[in-house]
Amino acid sequence: AQTVTQSQPEMSVQEAETVTLSCTYDTSESDYYLFWYKQPPSRQMILVIRQEAYKQQNATENRFSVNFQKAAKSFSLKISDSQLGDAAMYFCAYRSVTAYSGAGSYQLTFGKGTKLSVIP
Amino acid sequence: DGGITQSPKYLFRKEGQNVTLSCEQNLNHDAMYWYRQDPGQGLRLIYYSQIVNDFQKGDIAEGYSVSREKKESFPLTVTSAQKNPTAFYLCASKGLTEGANSFRDEQFFGPGTRLTVL
């Protein structure tokens, strides 16, 4: 079974600065997807960024980018030019590529989350 | 607007009662999911359904039941057998979104229901 670990329960960043959230995972599969989700106080889960494991290039979405280290099974999220609206819980998640892995459901396996505070 | 709706937003139940949480989507997605979220925990999968009239247990299905009679709807019943039902419940559906160069399948989440057992 896959596991996802977020070792930083809480982090803070000054507005306009850069912050990196860590995520490691454990899997025996060679191909999979990794995601970062944001959960603001409204508790709506919002997809921030995704990475396909077969792609060597790190994904970027505006101010959000990832550092994907497949051999180290590491998937960190970098937020540049932090804004007050970035304050939220951030969850790292793993998903198998095939329907016949694990539960066979394309289910997401989540880490426990990192609470990010942005200081004005 | 296409999306996922969950109702009610807040739900209170007396101990020993069954309660049903609603999840509806108009995204024409085949797959739907129920997750539970507790403080300090990530989301954990309760049940999922890949097509109508079919559903499978997730990691923490004990004390819960579901049905999938229509593509749009995937209600979750929290039964009296669930020992610690107070939690935040999220419903999701999975479908294709159009990216810059390809289609990608992703899970989209509803706004959630906060269940409190009194």
pLDDT digits (tens, 9 = 90+) for B46-68: 999 988 999 999 989 999 999 99
Residue in the block written with tokens 């106080």: A41
Q: Which amino acid is at B112?
A: G
Question: What are the chain A neighbours of B92 within 8 Å (beta carbons)?
Answer: 45
Q: Which residues of chain A have pLDDT under 70?
A: 98-106
Residue A103: closest C-alpha in chain B: B58
Nearest to B78 by CA among B86, B48, B42: B86
Residue A34: closest C-alpha in chain B: B106
A5 vs B: CB within 8 A: no
Cβ of B45 within 8 Å of Cβ of A105? The answer is: yes
A111 vs B: CB within 8 A: yes
Q: Using 50, 70 and 90 to split pLDDT, how confident is the model at B75?
A: very high
Output the average pLDDT for chain A: 91
Res. B99: pLDDT tops 80 = no
Cβ of A111 within 8 Å of Cβ of B42? The answer is: yes
Residue B10: both structure tokens together: 């807040």
Tell me if residue A85 falls in helix, strand or coil.
Answer: helix
A4 vs B: CB within 8 A: yes
Verify cis geometry, omega within 30 degrees of 0, for the bond prior to B8: yes
Residue B23 sits at the vertex; the CA angle it makes with B104 and B74, to the nearest 5 degrees, is 80
For residue range B1-35, what is the model confidence (pLDDT) as tens digits? 569 999 999 999 998 899 999 999 999 988 999 99
Tell me if residue A51 falls in helix, strand or coil.
Answer: strand
Residue B56 to residue B54: CA distance in whole angstroms: 7
Nearest to B49 by CA among B22, B76, B26, B88: B76
Beta-carbon contacts of B99 under 8 Å, excluding residues fewer than 6 positions away, are: none
Residue B103: both structure tokens together: 């289609």
**pLDDT confidence of residue B100:** 53
Tell me the residue length of chain B: 118
A47 vs B: CB within 8 A: yes
Residue B73 sits at the vertex; the CA angle it makes with A40 and A109, to the nearest 5 degrees, is 45
